[in-house]
């Protein structure tokens, strides 16, 4: 993990610094007209020195890496504030939204997948399979447009975009309810878009587990069906889906670019694209490093979780 982290930090830093552009000039450009050419050049040279742009690239990487270990990613060129302070708001919104999506999604997909496996090839199973294929195949922007048209334009149940009502004045409780009202439709779309794949994975894993000899033996011993399903079959099915479940939990830190853009929500996905479009590479680089840490931690937790769900792979001290 440490080796991969070091290599990726090196690759990303040099990649972003090879992009044409001058951060010092970009920062001074809005106020260029207020200086004489001599004053502008003096300020430009001073700013390049302060930002460390005159140092060789390896030296700049070492300084940046040392700062990153202290959670100092430099200044945002667009917002003129530390990157850590700028990222807090979109990260908080993304985490709040995705926590709801993951928890509700798991509460639906796991029981639904288990029931489909138990009633394999029944009418119920076939209907669910058709619906999950449709939900899995439809692009998120198509679902978003359809839901906006039905629930916002036609029925008027939810607002079209934004996080709060313009000029809203009310108590903190009313403000929270107003925010939840604005986030309801994006959350519904994200939940529906995530149901198809996980339901099919759980169904396939559970179907394989129910066909195992140990399940037939457990039933032959006269164990209750609930014990057979949830204590034996589901435990074996977890070996297949545990990685997907953990990766789904780790996805609470990543934003949905399509939904956030369509509903004008400043989450991590839209915030990252905006940083790239505005050439705010300190912010973009910080977000990419965050995603690398999340991916590495997700892999580690997935590996450790195998020992919890399957005693056979535990390391004997």
Q: Are 46 and 110 in a shared domain?
A: no
Q: Are 65 and 131 in a shared domain?
A: no
Query: What's the full length of the chain, in residues?
Result: 317
In 3-state terms, what secondary structure has residue 22?
Answer: coil
Q: Which of these, 18, 62, 47, 84, lies nearest to 283 by C-alpha position?
A: 84
Q: Are 54 and 96 in a shared domain?
A: no
**Angle CA(182)–CA(128)–CA(187) in degrees, nearest 5?**
10
Q: Out of 23, 38, 69, pick the residue that ends a domain.
A: 69
Q: Are 241 and 212 in a shared domain?
A: yes
Number of domains in the chain: 2
Asked if residue 76 is part of any domain, the answer here is no
Phi, psi of 86, rounded to the nearest 5 degrees: -70, -35
Q: Out of 34, 69, 104, pick the residue that ends a domain.
A: 69
Q: Are 261 and 157 in a shared domain?
A: yes
DSSP 159-212: -SS-SS-TT----HHHHHHHHHHHHHHHHHHHHHHHHHHHHHHHHHHHHHHHTS
Phi, psi of 172, rounded to the nearest 5 degrees: -65, -35
Asked if residue 75 is part of any domain, the answer here is no
Asked if residue 105 is part of any domain, the answer here is yes
Q: What pLDDT, on a 0 to 100 scale, did the predictor assign at position 113?
A: 85
Query: Cα(107)–Cα(202) distance, rounded to whole angstroms?
Result: 12
Q: What pLDDT, on a 0 to 100 scale, did the predictor assign at position 7?
A: 92
Q: Are 28 and 92 in a shared domain?
A: no
Query: Cα(137)–Cα(266) distance, rounded to whole angstroms?
Result: 26
Asked if residue 74 is part of any domain, the answer here is no
Q: What pLDDT, on a 0 to 100 scale, did the predictor assign at position 75?
A: 78
Give the other-Cβ count within 10 Å of 11's Cβ.
Answer: 10
Cβ-contact 251, 98 below 8 angstroms: yes
Asked if residue 52 is part of any domain, the answer here is yes
Q: Are 57 and 191 in a shared domain?
A: no
Task: Please list the pLDDT of the chain residue by residue as tens digits (317 residues).
Answer: 889 999 998 998 888 887 777 776 766 766 777 777 777 777 777 777 777 777 788 888 888 888 888 888 877 877 778 888 888 888 888 888 888 888 888 888 888 888 888 888 888 888 888 888 887 788 878 888 888 888 888 888 888 877 777 776 767 777 778 778 888 888 888 888 778 778 888 888 888 888 888 888 888 888 887 888 877 787 777 777 777 777 777 766 666 777 887 887 878 888 888 888 877 888 888 888 888 888 888 888 877 877 776 666 665 65
Strand segments, DSSP code E, in the chain are none
Cβ-based neighbours of 258, under 8 Å, separated by 6 or more: 139, 140, 141, 144, 269
Q: What pLDDT, on a 0 to 100 scale, did the predictor assign at position 14?
A: 86
Q: Are 104 and 249 in a shared domain?
A: yes
Asked if residue 78 is part of any domain, the answer here is no
Q: Are 128 and 235 in a shared domain?
A: yes
DSSP 229-278: IIIIIHHHHHHHHHHHHHHHHHGGGS--HHHHHHTT---HHHHHHHHHHT
CATH number at residue 261: 1.10.3720.10
Q: Are 227 and 173 in a shared domain?
A: yes
Asked if residue 107 is part of any domain, the answer here is yes
Cβ-contact 213, 276 below 8 angstroms: no
pLDDT in tens, 165-198: 777 676 777 777 877 888 888 888 888 877 877 8
Q: Which domain holds residue 106?
A: 83-313
Asked if residue 77 is part of any domain, the answer here is no
Q: Out of 41, 69, 97, pick the residue that ends a domain.
A: 69
Q: Are 49 and 90 in a shared domain?
A: no
Q: Are 154 and 290 in a shared domain?
A: yes
pLDDT in tens, 230-263: 777 877 777 777 777 777 777 666 667 778 878 8
If you search the block for the tokens 């034996």, which residue do you land on? 232
């Amino acid at each position: 993990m440490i080796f991969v982290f070091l290599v990726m930090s090196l690759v990303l830093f040099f990649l972003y610094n090879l992009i044409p552009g001058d951060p010092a000039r970009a920062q001074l450009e809005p106020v260029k007209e207020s200086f004489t050419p001599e004053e502008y050049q003096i300020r430009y040279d001073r700013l390049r020195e302060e930002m460390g742009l005159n140092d060789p690239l390896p030296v700049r990487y070492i300084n940046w890496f040392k700062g990153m270990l202290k959670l100092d990613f430099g200044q945002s060129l667009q917002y003129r504030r530390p990157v850590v302070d700028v990222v807090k708001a979109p990260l908080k919104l993304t985490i709040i939204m995705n926590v709801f999506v993951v928890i509700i999604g798991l509460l639906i997909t796991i029981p639904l997948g288990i029931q489909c496996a138990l009633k394999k090839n029944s009418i119920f199973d076939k209907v669910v399979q058709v619906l999950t294929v449709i939900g899995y195949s439809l692009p998120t922007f198509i679902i978003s447009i359809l839901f906006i048209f039905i629930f916002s334009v036609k029925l008027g149940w939810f607002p079209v975009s934004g996080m709060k009502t313009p000029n809203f004045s009310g108590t903190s409780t009313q403000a929270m309810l107003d925010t939840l009202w604005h986030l309801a439709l994006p959350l519904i779309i994200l939940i529906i878009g995530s149901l198809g794949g996980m339901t099919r994975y759980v169904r396939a894993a559970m179907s394989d587990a129910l066909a195992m000899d140990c399940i037939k033996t457990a039933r032959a011993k006269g164990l209750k069906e609930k014990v057979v399903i949830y204590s034996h079959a589901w435990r074996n099915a977890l070996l297949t889906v545990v990685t997907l479940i953990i990766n789904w939990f780790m996805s609470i830190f990543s934003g949905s670019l399509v939904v956030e853009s369509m509903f004008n929500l400043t989450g991590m996905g839209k915030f990252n694209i905006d940083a790239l479009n505005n050439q705010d590479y300190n912010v973009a680089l910080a977000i990419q490093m965050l995603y690398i840490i999340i991916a590495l931690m997700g892999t580690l937790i997935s590996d450790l979780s195998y020992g919890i769900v399957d005693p056979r792979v535990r390391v004997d001290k």
